Structure 1
């Protein structure tokens, strides 16, 4: 590098002389330098220091880029430094993305379109978490440079023990790369399970619990349990009472709001669009219908007492009163009251289903409807417009009466 001395060191670079000055390094302000080699080649250079290390970034040939353009680039680079961004790394990233988009930019654009097809806020939140958190190691990689080995090592291996998260991430990655193929950014899918991932990963592990296998309490033990439950004064016990009497899902009880309850006609309504994700049962609404739940007399009595002392919009608020009660709060109470550490709150729905099957003659379709399971294929469901409120109210009232039966008698209300 040639250093300027004497008169040359004082030379001011202008739009008129930058193509004629002799060899040397000429400061132009804003960390910009004109570098003229002994052979006469001229280039613009941006010098800076980041994290204690001196660095430089070429801004192009002075024969192709004017002084004013070079100064603009230098100012842009200084702005990036002010935002704690390395200008050379930002430039290199932009160059990599010119031929093919980077994963994060493309995946976010895809997500904004795809999530419109998802009904539930929880599902949209899960998709965002997959793209932004689980797939973070892929963010700055070009779509066409991501291979199966990278997906396994960087994304799937770290969450392999999280069976559902690993499965959902793998499935969403496949959709993202399918879209990239459709947009001609790739010709193959590195996240295809059957042809790319399974031969290397082996068979995917099963979920920790199969749906419908949640440990349930025997219905013969329910009356004794509800008597113990009624004796507890805490809010978690009241949440378990309402859960038992309405056979609702855990998350539905957690997110129950006073605005959803009509005490005059004894109904609890949840709009399909507001149906929460069940954090314990792993399921949300199984259909596109609003959920109308007839409230048994016992449930209304519990809710009226709670209404008199309400403190926020949630029937069962959390500690900060701005969010719902945690599902673990009910689970802990269930285990303490029952004395069985293997039971789950979601299993109470199984208790109801077994009681209805073994002890009553209620129609199976109506019993399933009480659990918000609309039976039949797509064609049948299209013609089922009725809510069967009268029939479901009879089932749930019989269930509530059974739960309130003195344990020693164990009487069951007939259909």
Structure 2
């Protein structure tokens, strides 16, 4: 008569202590708990199949409780009654689970790669690019590629912390505070985009109030004294570098548009017969179309350029690829090559030069000047800006301005600047 085995209790399984040798605690019908000298506890099931003694490893305790171990033993016994080896079934299940886990791990890895900070930041940038000027969009992406992506771009968006962001912003601020502030806004937008798409549950870039010092506003460097302006204009005419860059530098003071608007100019926008440059809304800071009347002097420069770049898209193509416009630094680099420091003149500074001298020397009305600068200033009747606002006055002003600049270069009598009251 076989020895009767008293079933185990939960307390026994929980309290059993390891020994120098393995301990077997039987539960009946082939199920037992094997306790190793190291303290590990493993459920096993002994059975016979085709007259061969076999052992099935059910799993560890406490991951598998006593009740669960009994259920798995009973399942194995039913398989035996059906003539099936439970060990074979268990092995197939284990392989299937392993394969499933492998696929899950691959999917997790794919999800990780699909949601890196760089990928999400580029998606956010693409979602907003239609709202920005081309200059701002290009500059921001270059700053992300230079200062952010090499540091945290490959990390999962959810792993980037507030501390990571602060450290990066402070590092950038040592070189340029303005760029750090732009990146601060980019961080907030990227994480907000990630939250909207369910990639994260918390935006770590919500409170940067004391992370960076405030940027002190500064005026764009520009010569507003006629004699200094004349020196600058004559130096530009003597530029011996790239002809395309030289033309851009010559047009910058004549047109006084934003540097990004100038370098992104396309031949399809230039009407030399009507002497008009029509800038589409998407290229403008205020997202409104703008007209730039062309003086006779500007038309001469455009016609000279047309023989060189007129068959392509851009008036000022990149020297590396005609599919892109010239770089943001081309005009400034040309000015530096001529010996003018950034404290003296920048590409953007021609706007300040024109604004001051048109009003204080040539006596044009501020609202006409502001309209040509494409600033958000209503006209005398309070109407919102439109591209044809003061177009007749602006056309006359642009020709007068070009003639005045020619006079400066040739040494004509210079009208002194009015002193501010």
Same fold (TM over 0.5): yes
Distance verdict in 2 for CA 1:188–1:396, change over 3 Å: same
CA distance in 2, matches of 1:177, 1:329: 33
- 1:288 and 2:287 aligned: yes
Q: Partner of 1:216 in structure 2?
A: 223
Alpha-carbon contact 2:235-2:338 (below 8 Å) kept: yes
Q: Partner of 2:349 in structure 1?
A: 347
CA distance in 1, matches of 2:305, 2:59: 82
Q: State the Cα deviation string for residues 269-302 of structure 1 (Å, max 9, x = none).
A: 12111x1xxxxxxxxx332211210000001011
Query: SS of the counterpart of 1:22?
Result: strand
Q: Partner of 1:398 in structure 2?
A: 400
Query: SS of the counterpart of 2:364?
Result: coil
Taking the TM superposition and a 5 Å limit, the aligned residue runs for 1:12-411 are: 22=55, 66-67=93-94, 69-70=96-97, 72-73=99-100, 76=103, 80=106, 90=109, 104=117, 107=120, 111=124, 115=128, 118-121=131-134, 123=136, 126=140, 130=144, 133=149, 136=152, 139-140=155-156, 142=158, 148-153=162-167, 155-161=168-174, 162-175=176-189, 190-193=204-207, 197-199=208-210, 201=211, 203-206=212-215, 210=217, 212-216=219-223, 218-232=225-239, 234-235=242-243, 236-273=245-282, 275=283, 285-310=284-309, 312-322=312-322, 323-337=324-338, 342=343, 343-376=345-378, 380=382, 382=384, 384=386, 386-405=388-407, 407-411=410-414
RMSD: 4.7
Distance verdict in 2 for CA 1:103–1:64, change over 3 Å: farther
Distance verdict in 2 for CA 1:337–1:292, change over 3 Å: same
Query: SS of the counterpart of 2:360?
Result: helix
Distance verdict in 2 for CA 1:39–1:22, change over 3 Å: farther
CA distance in 2, matches of 1:358, 1:38: 90
Alpha-carbon contact 2:222-2:353 (below 8 Å) kept: no
Q: Structure 1, unaligned stretches of length 5 or more?
A: 1-15, 25-34, 43-61, 81-86, 95-100, 276-284
Query: SS of the counterpart of 2:398?
Result: helix
How far did residue 375 of structure 1 move?
Answer: 0.8
TM-score for both structures, normalised by structure 2: 0.62
Query: SS of the counterpart of 1:404?
Result: helix
Alpha-carbon contact 2:336-2:342 (below 8 Å) kept: yes
Alpha-carbon contact 2:291-2:387 (below 8 Å) kept: no
CA distance in 2, matches of 1:63, 1:105: 44
Query: SS of the counterpart of 2:55?
Result: coil
CA distance in 2, matches of 1:183, 1:337: 50
Distance verdict in 2 for CA 1:21–1:152, change over 3 Å: farther
User: Runs ≥4 in structure 1, deviation > 6 angstroms?
Assistant: 35-42, 62-65, 179-188
Distance verdict in 2 for CA 1:72–1:337, change over 3 Å: closer
Length, aligned pairs only: 332
Alpha-carbon contact 1:214-1:344 (below 8 Å) kept: yes
Q: Structure 2, unaligned stretches of length 5 or more?
A: 1-48, 69-88, 416-421
CA distance in 2, matches of 1:106, 1:335: 36
Q: State the Cα deviation string for residues 330-362 of structure 1 (Å, max 9, x = none).
A: 223324446556322221221111111211221
Distance verdict in 2 for CA 1:303–1:182, change over 3 Å: closer
Distance verdict in 2 for CA 1:117–1:230, change over 3 Å: closer
Q: State the Cα deviation string for residues 208-243 of structure 1 (Å, max 9, x = none).
A: xx3533243533333444344334454122211111
Distance verdict in 2 for CA 1:353–1:40, change over 3 Å: closer
